[in-house]
Amino acid sequence: MAGTITHASSLCGSSRTAFGKNRMVTRPALRDELDVRFLATSAFALLALASALSAADGFAPMDFNLYMQGRYVYERNCIVCHGPRGDGNGELSPTLKPKPRSFREGMFKFRSTPLGMLPTDDDLRHTIRSGLSGTAMGMFSQLSTDEIDAVITYVKSFSRRWRKPENHAEPIQFASAPDWLKEPAALKNHAAAGQKLFAVNCAACHGEKADGKGPAAITLKDIWGIPAAPSDLRQSHLRCGDAPADIFRVLATGLNGTPMVSFDSTLTADQRWDIIAYIFSIRMPSGPVL
Ligand code: HEC
Ligand code: HEC
């Protein structure tokens, strides 16, 4: 246990060094410098934390070892952006747009679960492994399965929402994409229908041309008080993914904490596929034109 404590506190001390996977090095000198009083206080704090974690309102008690391993992974890989307190205010944060997520509200945009619900562990694994295209959130494909599970446990420790069963939900089940998506002539007809639906349901924010410049765009804010820019849907790489099914999923789940709500009850599945056909018909082959 003493080894773990030393480890964790040395990480705090070195979090201001250069950004990169291997920036954290073991620092035996620092270990020697730690005085007994500090160790005693840390041990007491960790014991209190351990009991708080396992008491977690009777829901999903956290595994303490996984939590400590997750903290280590987080301090090596995530802290520069998501910050020591998980509030999204890491060292790099001021320069980034969109800003790194604050984990303290327990609100996650990219999920398979209904609007307002927490993501599943698979959703978080996907975000961490694949990154979010077009943002500073890169791919962490070099992390092992264990490291990802551990860092997920640590991310969850920042918000009490995880402890309440009513915030958890099963993923929404989706039918597979229609075959006509692969047939150019059919795609064209569906896209024409989709364009009309898009004008009514999406253009106020995303703009008639889906370029993200709708009349309401400048007024939008997210729950973190930051202007929420409607995505330019012509981009070939969206954060939610590149496939038609990825857009279908966003239309069902909405993006928690943002003005992008769910269209699960307002648009039928057929209408949503038509809209997706429209979006694909105007897609740019590569990134957005600046
Ligand atoms: C270089 C900066 C940076 C680093 C390093 C980084 N992230 Fe992120 N992360 C971001 C940004 C920016 C966003 C917000 C993107 C958005 O709002 O579209 C984000 C969002 C997220 C989200 C929320 C996704 C959602 O559905 O809302 C999770 C979870 C996440 N990061 C986990 C991690 C973990 C775990 C690590 C370390 C293994 C990490 N991030 C490292 C910048 C970073
Ligand atoms: C009230 C405004 C509003 C309306 C209406 C709206 N959106 Fe959005 N949408 C947004 C905002 C804002 C975002 C970006 C949220 C964020 O990440 O902060 C977004 C994000 C998205 C994304 C995710 C893109 C990515 O990068 O992964 C998709 C897909 C999307 N919208 C499609 C649609 C479609 C299709 C419609 C109509 C059926 C629609 N939206 C209606 C505001 C809106």
Pocket test for ligand 2, best of 205, 226, 246, 284 (most atoms within 8 A of CB): 205
* Cβ of 228 less than 6 Å from ligand 2: yes
Reading the chain (290 residues) residue by residue, the pLDDT tens digits are: 333 333 333 333 333 333 334 344 334 444 444 444 444 556 556 555 555 555 444 455 778 999 999 999 999 999 999 999 999 999 999 999 999 999 999 999 999 999 999 999 999 999 999 999 999 999 999 999 999 999 999 999 999 999 999 999 999 999 899 999 999 999 999 999 999 999 999 999 999 999 999 999 999 999 999 999 999 999 989 999 989 999 999 999 999 999 999 999 999 999 999 999 999 999 987 644 44
* Cβ of 202 less than 6 Å from ligand 2: yes
Q: Which ligand is nearest to the CA of 274?
A: 2
* Cβ of 118 less than 6 Å from ligand 2: no
* Cβ of 259 less than 6 Å from ligand 2: yes
Crossing angle for the helix pair 64-77 and 2-13, nearest 10 degrees?
Answer: 20
Same fold, 2-167 and 179-281: yes
Give pLDDT, residue 62: 79
How far from 276 is each of 15, 176, 210, 259, 286, CA to CA, in Å? 43, 14, 11, 19, 18
Pick the CATH number of 179-281 from 2.40.50.140, 3.40.50.300, 1.10.1060.10, 1.10.760.10: 1.10.760.10
- Peptide bond preceding 119: is omega within 30 degrees of 0, i.e. cis? no
Query: Which neighbouring-strand residues pair with 227?
Result: 221
Give pLDDT, residue 48: 57
Q: Where are the domains of the chain?
A: 2-167, 179-281
Distance, CA of 137 to chain centre: 8
Give pLDDT, residue 284: 85
Query: Which neighbouring-strand residues pair with 221?
Result: 227
Q: Which ligand is nearest to the CA of 137?
A: 1
Give pLDDT, residue 22: 39
Class of domain 2-167: mainly alpha
Q: State the CB neighbour count (10 A cutoff) for residue 40.
A: 11
Minimum CA distance residue for ligand 1 atom 21: 101
Q: Which ligand is nearest to the CA of 264?
A: 2
Pocket test for ligand 1, best of 112, 132, 141, 146 (most atoms within 8 A of CB): 132
